Structure 1
Amino acid sequence: MNFKISGFVILFFLLFIACQEEVYVPKPKAMLRLDFPTPVEAQFENDSFIFNYNELAKPVVKNKNAIVLDYPAMKGSIFITYKAIQNNLETLIGDAQKLSFEHMRKADHIEPRTFINEDDKVYGTYFQIIGDAASQSQFYVTDSIHHFVTGSVYFYTKPNYDSILPAANYLQADMRAIMETLRWKE
């Protein structure tokens, strides 16, 4: 008799649990938090110019006219190229602008910002590229007579603007710091 009662209790308990409505508890929205260190400045110098860069980057000199500031933790880089002006300033500026606006096919928007440093004779344009483009920002600077420098940010991943936005913002700030601290050597 005890066996029948205990079996009946177990069966009743299982039926009671099985007939309960499942209660869904919504999960709070969460965002991935990426903390990047406060930039510590180091200085890069070659025969043509000097600029400050973030110590987090590892400078790789490809040749006397090409430098890569590699950010291994972010899987991204800032590529910097130097060209001497030889009666071709308009062509150099046109090529730099064309390169920036070629990203328009994939970008949602491109915001050009003029950069002028009268004291050190550094003039140029910074392009912030918004959207799933290969590069999130580019710039060019010149003294209009002898020197022309371009820079661009690239990540070693398929572009997904939302995913790389925190790292892109960090590297964009570093790129603007490079523009602001760049000085020509005579």
Structure 2
Amino acid sequence: MEHFLQAIPQANIRWSEGSELAMLFAKFDGDVVQAVQALKESCPEPNPKLLDSVKGLVAGLGDCRRYCADLQPSLPFPFVRATRQVYDVLVVLFPEYAATANGTKKLELAIPIKTVEKHAMETFQLGAFDVPRLFNGLWQLSSPSWGSGTAQSQEEALLRAVEYGLTATDMADHYVSIIAPS
């Protein structure tokens, strides 16, 4: 993955939004998300070799982001979701890097309170939590089996879901059947 990221600025590659290359990058973005999620779920022992690999991905993503920003006109950075996941695994496996990772821009979905308030929601008690009965399930959101999209298009889709009243989102990779009490 690191070599793929390094090749983009080295080859001076350009693309346009919606182009075949941009869609390939969206798939690669999803593949990185899947790989990093699998890494987190496998709970590997943190070691210097793994740290070097994760730091290499961080560097490759950073170089690619700078390349996109420095071009005239600039290009949209296509690996936003991958960057979030890589920083997440860095913080999970190597907490001493939390300050570095937290310096990056996190996803912030600004949902107008009026949008949330206009939808009456039926809820139920789940342990100490009062949760809505209806969740917007996003199983394997990054899987190319379901199609790939940019971080921006996925965030826009989530905001549209909120407009329709889906204010709870479940992004688990695996599900078990749970039936809420009536």
Q: Pick the TM interval, shorter chain.
A: under 0.3
Higher helix share: 2
Higher RCO (C-alpha 8 Å, min separation 6):
2
What TM-score do you get using the length of structure 2 for normalisation? 0.25
Higher strand share: 1
Largest Rg, 1 or 2 = 1
What TM-score do you get using the length of structure 1 for normalisation? 0.25
